[in-house]
């Protein structure tokens, strides 16, 4: 069990309060998860039912709102069914609670009392809520133009909100600077966050009778859900629970699609792009910290990258609303991706996707679309 650097190979104990390597690169976790299916079946329907697969040592350190095991709803797309994880139903309104529950539990275990994090909103809300339960002093850096709902939510949880002028990258830089003195509870880089998002894969496979789907379609900005899912599906295969891993299909916004370009143009590095404004604010990430890893994970799975335009996202939002699902604009990129994927897919394929954020997260934007 250890933290290991992607770049230089240096290792650290899981009990060192480290969020990156001394060389400045991101860290991964080497860990042997255990799955006892009989035990899992008897436990409460939360993501902590996979207890022996989550690298937090003591149960007393678990910070949880009994989150997870969200419904896997069968949704109709022009006569074809797709299973959609209802991750908009988490306590803070987005799937980021998966990562926050595990990361803040580990932070509590390390005895850390103050953290910084940067976010366009949802990760900040999730980290704030779990810090509130754990009694950890929480400082969230956000872009000045953060959605009003998300700013309200973060402050209600008692976190300090630091509004940073400029781009999303300026916000990240400000958080990094603050992280020179304070522990960085980064959703995009801290490896424990991905140990939480991996439970998405465990739940999907358990809900399908411990079988892997054929294809999983996910939105991608920083890739915390996609990389977490990749870890989870690979762990189940390695443990002999499933007999394959799914194709991972990643969907980006057309206006900010660096990973799509790296994949489609077969580039060795993720390109520096000029991003344009998009309604999918939650995936507007021009330089994802783990960009190369995301592209590699999609390639390794035999998957693909797709893009969605703002027009397609808005149409998708309206269509899915009329089926009874109220999700935020960022969350609707996958619908455009699902439609494109289905138009070329074979029948009988088991396809899983996700709604990542609740519509109430973005009331102003949702109202503006109606006008
Ligand atoms: C964070 C977020 C995403 C994208 O997740 P990444 O981990 O950045 O790839 C998608 N949808 C919503 C609603 C989000 O909050
Ligand atoms: Zn290193």
CA-closest residue to ligand 1 atom 7: 224
Looking at the CA of 332, name the nearest ligand: 1
Question: Can you list the alpha helix ranges (DSSP code H) found in the chain?
Answer: 37-42, 96-109, 122-134, 148-156, 168-178, 191-197, 199-207, 224-238, 258-264, 291-300, 310-321, 333-342, 363-370
**pLDDT tens digits, 231-267:** 999 999 999 999 999 999 999 999 999 999 999 999 9
**pLDDT tens digits, 82-98:** 999 999 999 999 999 99
Q: How confident is the model at residue 50 (pLDDT cuts 50, 70, 90)?
A: very high
Ligand 1: which of 100, 188, 194, 222 to mutate, judged by most atoms within 8 Å of the beta carbon?
222
pTM for the full predicted model = 0.97
Whole-number Å distance, alpha carbon 7 to ligand 2 midpoint, is 5
Ligand 1: which of 93, 198, 224 to mutate, judged by most atoms within 8 Å of the beta carbon?
224
Report pLDDT for 121: 86
Please list every protein residue whose CB sits less than 6 Å from any atom of ligand 1.
94, 96, 122-123, 219-225, 282-283, 328, 330-331, 356-357
**pLDDT tens digits, 291-303:** 999 999 999 999 9
Q: Chain-wide mean pLDDT for the chain?
A: 95
> Is residue 307 scored above 90 in pLDDT?
yes
Whole-number Å distance, alpha carbon 13 to ligand 2 midpoint, is 14
Whole-number Å distance, alpha carbon 29 to ligand 2 midpoint, is 13
**pLDDT tens digits, 324-345:** 999 999 999 999 999 999 999 8
| CATH architecture group of domain 106-186 | 3-Layer(aba) Sandwich (3.40)
Whole-number Å distance, alpha carbon 239 to ligand 2 midpoint, is 28
> Is residue 120 scored above 80 in pLDDT?
no
> Is residue 3 scored above 90 in pLDDT?
yes
Q: Evaluate whether 72-95+192-370 and 106-186 have a shared fold.
A: yes
CA 304 to chain centre: 18
Taking a C-beta distance cutoff of 8 angstroms, is the pair 68, 47 a contact? Answer: yes
> Is residue 353 scored above 80 in pLDDT?
yes
In ligand 1, which atom is closest to the CA atom of 327? 13
Q: What is the mean pLDDT of residues 27-35?
A: 95
Q: How confident is the model at residue 274 (pLDDT cuts 50, 70, 90)?
A: confident
Whole-number Å distance, alpha carbon 295 to ligand 1 midpoint, is 16
> Is residue 198 scored above 90 in pLDDT?
yes
- What is 72-95+192-370's CATH number, 3.40.50.1100, 3.30.565.10, 3.30.450.20, 3.40.50.11540? 3.40.50.1100
Whole-number Å distance, alpha carbon 189 to ligand 1 midpoint, is 14
Whole-number Å distance, alpha carbon 190 to ligand 2 midpoint, is 14
Taking a C-beta distance cutoff of 8 angstroms, is the pair 290, 227 a contact? Answer: yes
Domain ranges within the chain, ordered by starting residue: 1-30, 72-95+192-370, 106-186
Looking at the CA of 7, name the nearest ligand: 2
Least Cα distance to 329 among 216, 96, 321 occurs for 321
Q: What is the C-alpha separation between 178 and 185, in angstroms, rounded?
A: 12
Report pLDDT for 359: 96
Taking a C-beta distance cutoff of 8 angstroms, is the pair 262, 295 a contact? Answer: yes
Looking at the CA of 5, name the nearest ligand: 2
In ligand 1, which atom is closest to the CA atom of 197? 7
């Amino acid at each position: 069990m250890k933290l290991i650097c992607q770049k230089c190979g240096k290792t650290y104990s899981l009990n060192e309060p480290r969020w990156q390597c001394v060389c400045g690169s991101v860290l991964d976790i080497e860990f042997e998860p255990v799955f006892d299916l009989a035990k899992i079946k008897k436990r409460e329907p939360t993501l902590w039912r996979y207890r022996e697969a989550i690298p937090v040592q003591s149960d007393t350190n678990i910070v949880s709102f009994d989150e997870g095991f969200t419904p896997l709803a069968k949704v109709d797309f022009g006569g074809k069914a797709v299973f959609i994880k209802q991750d908009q139903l988490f306590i803070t309104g987005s799937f980021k609670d998966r990562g926050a529950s595990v990361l803040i539990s580990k932070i509590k275990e390390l005895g850390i009392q103050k953290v910084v994090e940067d976010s366009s909103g949802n990760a900040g809300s999730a980290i704030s809520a779990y810090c509130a339960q754990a009694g950890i002093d929480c400082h969230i850096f956000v872009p000045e133009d953060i959605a009003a709902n998300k700013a309200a939510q973060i402050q209600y949880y008692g976190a300090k909100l630091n509004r940073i002028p400029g781009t999303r990258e300026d916000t990240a830089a400000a958080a990094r600077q603050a992280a020179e003195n304070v522990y960085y509870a980064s959703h995009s880089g801290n490896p424990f966050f991905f140990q939480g998002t991996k439970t998405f894969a465990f739940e999907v496979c358990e809900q399908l009778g411990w079988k892997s789907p054929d294809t999983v379609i996910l939105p991608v900005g920083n890739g915390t859900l996609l990389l977490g899912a990749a870890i989870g599906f690979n762990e189940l295969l390695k443990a002999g629970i499933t007999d394959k891993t799914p194709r991972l299909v990643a969907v980006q916004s057309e206006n900010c699609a660096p990973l799509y370009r790296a994949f489609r143009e077969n580039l060795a590095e993720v390109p520096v792009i000029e991003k344009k404004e998009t309604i999918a604010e939650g995936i507007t990430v021009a330089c994802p910290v783990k960009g190369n890893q995301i592209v590699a994970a999609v390639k390794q799975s035999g998957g693909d990258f797709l893009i969605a335009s703002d027009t397609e996202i808005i149409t998708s939002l309206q269509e899915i609303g009329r089926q009874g699902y109220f999700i935020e604009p960022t969350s609707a990129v996958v619908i455009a991706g699902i439609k494109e994927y289905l138009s070329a897919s074979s029948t009988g394929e088991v396809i899983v996707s996700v709604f990542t954020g609740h519509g109430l997260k973005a009331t102003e934007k949702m109202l503006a679309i109606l006008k």
